[in-house]
Amino acid sequence: MERTEISDLGEFGLIGLMTKELTHQQPSTLRGVGDDGAVLDPMGKRVVVSTDMLCEGIHFDLSYVPLKHLGYKAVVVNLSDICAMNAMPTQVVVGLGLSNRFSVEAVEELYAGIRLACEVYKVDLVGGDTTTTGSGLTLAVTAMGLVEPDAVVGRDGAGDGDLLVVSGDLGAAYMGLQILEREKNVFQAAPTAQPELEDFSYLLERQLKPEARVDVIREVGDLGLRPTSMIDISDGLASEVLHLGTSSGVGFKVYEDKLPIDPKVYDTAREFNLDPTLCMLSGGEDYELLFTIKQDDYEKVRNHPKLTVIGHSVAAPDAFTLVTKNGPEVPLKAQGWDGLKGRSEDQPTT
Apex 241 CA angle, 325 and 260, nearest 5? 45
Instruction: Spell out the residues 6+ positions from residue 75 whose beta carbon is closer than 8 angstroms to its own.
Output: 92, 94, 113, 114, 117, 118, 121, 123, 141, 143
Average pLDDT, the chain: 91
Task: Specify whether 193 is located in the same domain as 128.
Answer: no
- Contact (CB, 8 A) for 236 and 281: yes
Range of the domain at 255: 163-336
Mean pLDDT for 240-269 is 98
pLDDT at 345: 41
Q: Assess whether 139 and 40 both reside in one domain.
A: yes
Residues 114 and 168 in one domain: no
Average pLDDT over residues 303-327: 95
- 134 shares its domain with 276: no
If pLDDT is split at 50, 70 and 90, which confidence band does 187 have?
Answer: confident
pLDDT for the residue 348: 41
Structural domain count of the chain: 2
For the chain, give the percent of residues with pLDDT over 70: 91
Residues 180 and 321 both lie in one domain: yes
Instruction: Yes or no: say if 302 and 258 are a contact pair by the CB < 8 Å rule.
Output: no
Within-domain flag for 341: no
Which position has the higher pLDDT, 325 or 1? 325
Are 72 and 114 found together in one domain? Answer: yes
pLDDT at 260: 98
343 assigned to some structural domain: no
Residue 327 lies in a domain: yes
Are residue 316 and residue 168 in the same domain, yes or no?
A: yes
User: Within the chain, what is the greatest distance between any pair of CA atoms?
Assistant: 65
- Which among 155, 139, 45, 137 has a CA at the least distance from the CA of 93? 139
Q: For residue 34, what pLDDT is reported? A: 72
Same domain assignment for residues 136 and 177: no
Cα–Cα distance for residue pair 311/309, rounded to 1 Å: 6
Residue 19 has a pLDDT of 66
Same domain for 122 and 231, yes or no, is no
30 within a domain of the structure (yes/no): no
Q: What is the pLDDT of residue 85?
A: 98
Cα(54)–Cα(138) distance, integer angstroms: 6
CATH value at residue 288: 3.90.650.10
Instruction: Examine the fold and report which residue of 119, 151, 183 is the final residue of a domain before the chain moves on.
Output: 151
Q: Answer yes or no: is 289 within a domain.
A: yes
Instruction: Report residue 220's pLDDT band, with 50, 70 and 90 as the boundaries.
Output: very high
Q: Which of 92, 124, 151 is the last residue of a domain?
A: 151
Task: Classify 280 in phi/psi space as left (phi over 0), alpha (psi -120 to 50) or beta.
Answer: alpha
pLDDT, mean of residues 23-37:
85
Assigned domain for 26 exists: no
> What is the pLDDT averaged over residues 82-106?
95
DSSP helix/strand/coil, 337: strand
According to the per-residue pLDDT averaged within each range, which of 1-5, 37-41, 114-118 is highest?
114-118
**Could you give the dihedral angle defined by the CA atoms of residues 268, 181, 131 and 31, in that order, rounded to the nearest 10 degrees?**
-10
Task: Please give the average per-residue pLDDT across 39-49, as a whole number.
Answer: 96
The CATH number of the domain where 144 resides is what?
3.30.1330.10
Q: Is the pTM for the entire model greater than 0.95?
A: no
Q: What's the Cα-to-Cα distance from 212 to each of 78, 164, 348, rounded to whole Å?
A: 8, 19, 24
DSSP state of 198: G
Whole-number pLDDT of residue 11:
59
Which pLDDT score is estimated for 346?
43
Question: Is pLDDT larger for residue 339 or for residue 253?
Answer: 253
Give CA angle at 22 (135, 219), nearest 5°: 95
Is there a single domain that holds both residue 306 and residue 179? yes
The secondary structure of 273-308 as a DSSP string is T--HHHHHHH------EEEEE-GGGHHHHTT-TTEE
With bands split at pLDDT 50, 70 and 90, how would you rate the model's confidence at 347?
very low
Whether residues 79 and 180 share a domain: the answer is no
> Are 214 and 143 part of one and the same domain?
no
Average pLDDT, stretch 242-269?
Answer: 98
End position of a domain, from candidates 120, 151, 182 = 151
Q: Does residue 345 fall inside a structural domain?
A: no
Spatial distance between the Cα atoms of 306 and 291, rounded to a whole number of angstroms: 13
pLDDT at 343 over 90: no
Does residue 64 belong to any structural domain of this protein? yes
